[in-house]
Amino acid sequence: MSNRDRFAVVTGASSGIGFAYAERLAERGFHLILVARRRDRLEEIAGRIRNKTARTVEVVSADLGNAADLLRLETLLTERDDIEVLINNAGLGALGPTSKVPASALENLVKINVLALTRLTHAVLPGFLRRNSGTVVNIASIIALMPTPSGAGYSGTKGYVLNFSRSLQMELAKTGVTVQAVLPGPVRTEFFEASGLTEAPFPDELFMSAPELVDSALAALDQGELVCLPALEDMTLWTAFEDARATLIRALTSSGRPATRYSTSAR
Ligand SMILES: NC(=O)c1ccc[n+]([C@@H]2O[C@H](COP(=O)([O-])OP(=O)(O)OC[C@H]3O[C@@H](n4cnc5c(N)ncnc54)[C@H](OP(=O)(O)O)[C@@H]3O)[C@@H](O)[C@H]2O)c1
């Protein structure tokens, strides 16, 4: 990631993981555009980062679930040619049994975790491709690999983030544009509270801090690791998972005939 006079956009920068990205990217020399709904928090964070790093920090108060706000941010990203990094981090959980989660909350979940992330990526790509340079970091979750009975909508949205990112990696492989998917496990932030839970569904020892998560994800990016599993010690497990996936895909694309177990004579 080059950073001379370049801007990084961080969504969901008013707390948790987004705030940690903002601090670290400013320390790496980027100017910042910080996005979230809570303007007061963003202004306070912006002031602190400006004092510490002398970077330019702009604040955009926007509800990414609101079509007009999202369009305003997309337009800004499209019109500026000084943006080098987009961190698609804003997200929420809407956790709990699906029949008990209000439909409006599920809709909002999809709007922010999926729609906003997709449209913001789409907004920066033409400029990144024109300059043959730029990085998109999409914050998914280990839940993308782990269907769960207590967050079907959340798991679905993060599965989308992972597949969207990996498909883009293939599409952009021969360009100077990088897309990284980050799959955090539990991180100590306001996430579970904001998702309507009174206590987190993981024991305390499984949590890492937001700065630990972000330092790991940035180290992964520096090392060219485009799917970052921050707590995974043994990377051969991921390789084995990928090998199994490739074997399944080869089998799935080797025949167009229905499998014999579905033929009437097999019943
Ligand atoms: N914490 C975990 O255990 C964990 C694990 C895996 C993945 N993640 C992912 O990490 C990302 C960041 O979450 P976090 O843990 O840092 O949680 P957090 O502390 O609750 O931060 C969420 C951020 O998203 C912003 N946001 C929420 N709704 C928004 C909206 N409608 N419009 C604009 N911004 C909005 C919030 O800002 P405002 O409220 O000011 O708008 C806040 O800055 C999410 O995508 C989450 O799914 C978290």
**Architecture in CATH for domain 7-232:** 3-Layer(aba) Sandwich (3.40)
- Return d(Cα 181, Cα 56) in angstroms, integer: 27
* Ligand 1 atom closest to Cα of residue 11: 34
Ligand 1 pocket member 64 (CB < 6 A): yes
Ligand 1 pocket member 42 (CB < 6 A): no
Burial of 211-222, coded b for 16+ CB within 10 Å and e otherwise, reads: ebbbebbbebbe
CB 71 within 8 A of CB 60: no
- Output the pLDDT for position 198: 74
Distance 50 CA to ligand 1 centre (A): 23
Quote the tokens at residue 163: 């597949």
Distance of CA 131 to the CA centre of its chain: 23
Ligand 1 pocket member 89 (CB < 6 A): yes
CB 179 within 8 A of CB 136: yes
Q: Where are the chain's structural domains?
A: 7-232
| pLDDT confidence band for 29 (50 / 70 / 90) | very high
Distance 12 CA to ligand 1 centre (A): 5
- The amino acid occupying position 121 is T
- pLDDT single digits (tens) 49-76: 999 999 999 999 999 999 999 999 999 9
Active centre residues (catalytic): 154
Ligand 1 pocket member 141 (CB < 6 A): yes
* Ligand 1 atom closest to Cα of residue 186: 3
Quote the tokens at residue 20: 């940690």
| pLDDT confidence band for 266 (50 / 70 / 90) | low
**3-state secondary structure at position 134:** strand
CB 170 within 8 A of CB 151: no
More confident residue, 72 or 196: 72
- Return d(Cα 230, Cα 255) in angstroms, integer: 37
CB 238 within 8 A of CB 232: yes
Distance 215 CA to ligand 1 centre (A): 17
- pLDDT single digits (tens) 101-118: 999 999 999 999 999 999
